[in-house]
Amino acid sequence: MARYLDIHPENPQQRLIDQVVEQLRDDALIAYPTDSGYALGCALGNRDGRDRILRIRELDDKHHFTLMCRDFAQLGQFVHVNNTAFRAIKAATPGPYTFILPATGEVPRRLMHPKKRTVGVRIPTSPLVNSLLDSLGEPLLTSTLILPGEEEPRTQGWDIKEELDHVVDTVIEAGEVSAQPTTVIDWSGDLPEVVRHGAGDVTRFE
């Protein structure tokens, strides 16, 4: 049975954030609210967590995982960003965008796309998520919580607790969140390619 923690979305209680971080370091899989719907998350070193996310979402190993990063400096440790991409991505973050970029050696191979050696990265605006990332001290391996047969991410913690009670370890409740996922931009080549239209304005990348 999953733990259920009610954390304030704008002023997250540090003692509860610390509990979640402790669980993440103990290889927990969490369902947590972001600024673009709920997501599944685990620590980068949690091998089983990655596989559990794939099973819950019924995805294959070609799924692009995302590293939820605290800031641009942290993002730069895990992906290669050329000069043109650097300026555009820095101007768009934090915000509702996920960027697919070539991974650096800091990213475990199992988290990269098996052929392209790429990984998704994003910097959220959510105070709750940023507090979590601050305390964790590293990116959170994450995937939008869109269940098989559905097209939008889940938006309410109690609903996720009911449905995924026995397949995740912790559910964070923070009130209803936006159902619109991030805009996904693949910048693994010379030019940006819009992979998914979402909350972020795509005109700057087209």
- Residue whose C-alpha is closest to residue 89's, from 109, 75, 70, 103: 75
Over residues 8-33, the pLDDT tens digits come to: 999 999 999 999 999 999 999 999 99
Residue 161 reports pLDDT greater than 90? yes
Residue 177 reports pLDDT greater than 90? no
Fold of 3-205: DHBP synthase (3.90.870)
Residue 63 reports pLDDT greater than 90? no
Q: What is the pLDDT of residue 180?
A: 86
The confidence band for 173, taking pLDDT boundaries of 50, 70 and 90, is very high
Name the average pLDDT for the chain. Answer: 94
Alpha carbons 56 and 109: distance in angstroms, whole number:
21
Q: Which two tokens stand for residue 10?
A: 């704008």
List 98's β-bridge partners, or say none. 184
Sign (positive or negative) of CA dihedral 49, 156, 145, 37: negative
Q: What is the pLDDT of residue 9?
A: 95
Over residues 87-140, the pLDDT tens digits come to: 999 999 999 999 999 999 999 999 998 889 999 999 999 999 999 999 999 999
Q: What is the pLDDT of residue 151?
A: 87
Q: Does an H or E element contain 205, and which?
A: none
The confidence band for 176, taking pLDDT boundaries of 50, 70 and 90, is confident
Give every strand in the sheet of 193-196, ordered side by side. 3-6, 170-173, 30-34, 37-43, 140-144, 66-68, 118-122, 97-102, 183-186, 193-196
Q: What is the pLDDT of residue 47?
A: 92
- Residue whose C-alpha is closest to residue 139's, from 77, 203, 57, 204: 77
Alpha carbons 14 and 25: distance in angstroms, whole number:
16
Contacting residues for 124 by C-beta, under 8 A, at least 6 apart: 34, 35, 36, 68, 94, 130
Dihedrals phi, psi of 95, to nearest 5 degrees: 175, 180
Alpha carbons 69 and 57: distance in angstroms, whole number:
22
